A and B are shown apart, each in its own frame.
Chain A
Amino acid sequence: MGKSMAETRDVAAGRCTAPALAEAFADLHAPLTEQQAYNESSRCFYCHDAPCLEACPTGIDIPGFIRRIATGNATGAGRTILDSNIMGATCARVCPVEELCEEVCVRNTGDHKPVTIAQLQRFATDALFDANMQPYARAAETGKKVAIVGAGPAGLACAHRLARYGHDVVVYEARAKAGGLNEYGLAAYKMPDNIAQREIDFILSVGGITIETGKALGKELSLDQLTSDHDAVFLGLGLSAVNALGLDGENVDAVEDAVDYISDLRQAVDLSAVAVGRRVVVIGGGNTAIDAAVQAKRLGAEDVTLVYRRGPEQMGATDFEQDLAQTNGVIIRHWAMPVAIKGENGSAVEMTFEATQLDGNGRLEGTGARFTLMADQVFKAIGQAFDAAPLGGGAAPEVSDGRIVVDENGKTSVNGVYAGGDCVAGQDLTVSAVEDGKVAAEAIHLELSGQNSNKGVS
């Protein structure tokens, strides 16, 4: 195809009016009214040894907080939540509850509808924030210093718990703002009204935590330096690399990493200034792919097609997320993989896909059947990866299968260095990152104060 013949990319901002955008990016689930919350809370059986509590990675006392809502003690409910999960407000908005607490609610069995735990959790944490309450007081200062790298949910949860114990915490963050994917990754319609920063403000208000942005491990900082300047170090680095398709033509400007695009979208002050393609193709089957597809559609893309190389059951995205994509008009094509990209900078690209199937051994193979899609914008969302490079230099923690190796307390192979969140093997969810940070903080506190002095805070 000669340069002159190439079809120009149709990528434009302002495909929707400002009011339409405001509506499209408003709260995915409207907050419950007081009456709705009361009614819903009275559906909870207050189970003994409740399965929901067990299914929550942070072990929130769910029956306990729901009962508090039912008695009109919404702030007590909020505190019950935060006692186990300091990011209860974000988790209420983004947890895939249909695979966690709500999946095991006993009311699924009875009348096939779980108590809407996440919505109640949001009601309670909102109430606590609205009341401007600070439920936590710092213990007397211990004089111990802990460095945390990465101000995502893992790092901040760790920081908060350590600060409560009286330790002095410095959080080093490469980016300009704290929050990790809460600020840069989660879908905009799940995190409206600047909730990520309001939650961080709340976390910091306990005192004892300093955040230093623009400080990256591997650049401004080295692990050796951190370990020698502090009594302990926690790594909450997340996943900063992305997987590539491995195709020629991947580097044309029409092909972007979904996470970068979402990050820009989340940072946009004015959504009507965010450009989106007329025809968008998303490659992948996880949360990121769905979020990119739905947000592109809501920005006004005409056609959004999500192509995934396996079937709906294998998708990383939950049923709820898949439904959300479809009700937003995203076309999902299963069992197809990209095999060629044709285009150049400034032009639309022609994506060629090959149909896939499982061979006799359950391995994915191409069937030979092909189809093409024209796209003004292609989002790659085929997974992120941990980048171990920043750890290098001195004594680096052991990495295996692409993640930092830790024991059940978050301890790495290097003495005094802990890690948690997406950079260690696990569920790759906000809630599990929070739990990792919390568990590591308990272990760090134990190590810093000696076995006997640990009384636990709660």
Chain B
Amino acid sequence: MADLSTSVGGIKSPNPFWLASAPPTDKEYNVVRAFKAGWGGVVWKTLGEAGPPVVNVSSRYGAVHIGEQRIFGLNNIELITDRPLEVNLREIKQVKKDWPDRAMVVSLMVPCEEDAWIKILKEVEDTECDGIELNFGCPHGMSERGMGAAVGQVPEYVEMVTRWCKSHTNMPVLVKLTPNVTSILGPAQAAKSGGGDGVSLINTVNSITSIDLDLMAPTPTVDGKGSHGGYCGPAVKPMALHMCAEIARNAGTAGLPMSAIGGISNWRDAAEFIALGAGTTQVCTAVMHYGFKIVEDMIDGLSDWMDQKGYAKISDFQGMAVPNITDWQNLNMNYEIVAEIEQTKCVKCGLCHIVCEDTSHQAISAEKIKGERRYEVIDKECVGCNLCMHVCPENCITMRKVDNGKDYMNWTQDPRNPFSNAAE
């Protein structure tokens, strides 16, 4: 069995699977159940200042279902923890004491005033947790009060608050980033400049799940009205991957420890983020869909895969995909592939034909031979776009490499490029 232990920004964890700061980590009861199930760490549900806790509305969630797949995406309009600060702190301290080997990170969101941060940092230190996460990401409710994404969208604020925290505590500081920005690099750079030990990303994406056409209001609907919320779940994973990749391959931010979040539902998703350099991964929607038990498969799935690949420890493949993420102009223009249909597996749905015919390059013929449908790739018309492969419901189309004998040539070298460097 591979060694799954890992760390991010100096915070150690027996495995890379954490629960993200959200309802699953809102109280001792849940977190203990999660640790019993095998989760390596948690980021406790975001704490706010002492005083009357925030109040939530109902309903709070909206979801996108596709076919029989429930919750392809989840949207919420919840705020930070609605339980008293002292209760949370007491429970955090107790759980950390009972589960010393697990990572206990505490998420924080207080107003953008240094004193407010100093005050809460001292209280949190007393819990002996392993680190803190600054919630600069929450896109709804809290941002209207000048917190969460309202801070996360302004790199100067991110840097300032991060610096306050670093100068008032020795606890490792992770900065949780909002994806609701034009480029993730600004806030990531700011987190680094402020002295942050790492970044957690992504928080939820601004969203409206759907419009109820009877109520003529967005969902989730609260007494006839709705507001935008934060989107998460499998639907956001591609965006999260892109943002992690940007941080990993940009000179200014490369090497910044990352705790990856966004649509992670299984070991394979987690492995993808680790391959982009993440030290730990965080999960919210998947456990809100299936419960904590999914970590069992995450642990043995990742371990078996690593064994098969010969990776003894997480760092053996961490960041391995980063060098292969490049700009479009560096791609090989001479690399050629064409679609190939495995006729024995083809069920004759004709989708490959109709999509190529209607929307691509007219490269799949449709014929009837003795009453039998037959779909065939016309090699010379196929541009290798892969569309047919993706629509095939039986997975019987593969892309075959054409050996054209041509060497690597990118766009900057391509004679078809009016600005190419190619020697005439």
Contacts and interface: CB of A to CB of B under 8 A. Distances in A.
Interface string B344-361: 000111110110000000
B68 interface: yes
A70 B66 CA distance: 10
B71 to A, nearest CB: 15
A109 B68 CA distance: 21
Contacts of B354: 48-49
Nearest to A45: B349
B362 to A, nearest CB: 14
B67 interface: yes
Contacts of B68: 39, 42
Interface in A368-395: none
A35 to B, nearest CB: 10
A107 interface: yes
Contacts of B393: 45, 110
A46 B373 contact: no
Contacts of B348: 47, 51, 106, 109
Contacts of B366: 48-49
Contact of A45 (B351, B353, B373): B351
A95 to B, nearest CB: 22
B67 A46 contact: no
Interface in B320-356: 347-351, 353-354
Interface size class of A (residues with CB under 8 A): 10 to 19
B394 A110 contact: yes
A46 B351 contact: yes
A47 B393 CA distance: 10
Residue among A48, A106, A110 with max Cβ neighbours from chain B (10 Å): A48
B349 A47 contact: yes
Given A48-B366, A51-B373, A110 B347 contact: yes
A106 B67 contact: no
Is chain B's interface secondary structure helix, strand, loop, or mixed overall? loop
B384 to A, nearest CB: 21
B67 A47 contact: no
Contacts of A47: 348-351
A6 to B, nearest CB: 59
Contact of B347 (A42, A46, A106): A106
Nearest to A108: B347
Interface in A333-358: none
A48 B347 contact: no
A67 to B, nearest CB: 12
Nearest to A47: B349
Contact of A107 (B67, B347, B350, B351): B347
Nearest to B213: A72
Nearest to A35: B68
Contact of B67 (A42, A51, A109, A110): A42
Given A106-B347, A107-B347, A48 B67 contact: no
Interface in A19-45: 39, 42, 45
Contacts of A39: 67-68
Contacts of B353: 48
Contacts of A49: 350, 354, 366, 373
B351 A48 contact: yes
Contacts of A51: 348, 373
Interface string B57-95: 000000000011000000000000000000000000000
Nearest to A42: B67
A113 B351 CA distance: 19
Nearest to B352: A48
A70 B354 CA distance: 20
A98 B321 CA distance: 50
B100 to A, nearest CB: 46
Nearest to A105: B347
B357 to A, nearest CB: 8
A52 to B, nearest CB: 11
B201 to A, nearest CB: 33
A45 B393 CA distance: 7
Given A45-B393, A49-B366, A109 B351 contact: no
Interface string A67-82: 0001000000000000
A106 B373 CA distance: 11
Nearest to A106: B347
B396 to A, nearest CB: 10
B348 to A, nearest CB: 6
A106 B372 CA distance: 12
Nearest to A72: B213
B377 to A, nearest CB: 15
A110 to B, nearest CB: 5
Nearest to A63: B349
Residue among A42, A49, A50, A51 with max Cβ neighbours from chain B (10 Å): A49
B358 to A, nearest CB: 9
A347 B50 CA distance: 95
A254 B394 CA distance: 57
Interface string B88-106: 0000000000000000000
Residue among B67, B353, B366 with max Cβ neighbours from chain A (10 Å): B67
B94 to A, nearest CB: 43
Contacts of A50: 349-350
A44 B67 CA distance: 10
Given A39-B68, A51-B373, A109 B347 contact: yes
Contacts of B394: 110
A96 B349 CA distance: 23
A82 to B, nearest CB: 25
B364 to A, nearest CB: 10
A107 B349 CA distance: 9
Nearest to A46: B351
A48 B364 CA distance: 13
B289 to A, nearest CB: 17
Interface in A107-129: 107, 109-110
Contacts of A48: 349-351, 353-354, 366
A46 B353 CA distance: 13
Contacts of B350: 47-50
B374 to A, nearest CB: 11
Contacts of B347: 45, 106-107, 109-110
Interface in A85-110: 106-107, 109-110
B351 to A, nearest CB: 6
Residue among A42, A70, A106, A107 with max Cβ neighbours from chain B (10 Å): A106
B392 to A, nearest CB: 10
Given A48-B349, A49-B354, A51-B373, 5 more contacts: A48-B351, A48-B366, A49-B366, A107-B347, A110-B394
Interface of B: 67-68, 347-351, 353-354, 366, 373, 393-394
30 contacts: A39-B67, A39-B68, A42-B67, A42-B68, A45-B347, A45-B349, A45-B393, A46-B351, A47-B348, A47-B349, A47-B350, A48-B349, A48-B351, A48-B353, A48-B354, A48-B366, A49-B350, A49-B366, A49-B373, A50-B349, A50-B350, A51-B348, A70-B67, A106-B347, A106-B348, A107-B347, A109-B347, A109-B348, A110-B347, A110-B394
Interface of A: 39, 42, 45-51, 70, 106-107, 109-110
Closest 7 CB pairs of A and B: A48-B350, A42-B67, A48-B354, A106-B347, A47-B349, A109-B347, A45-B349
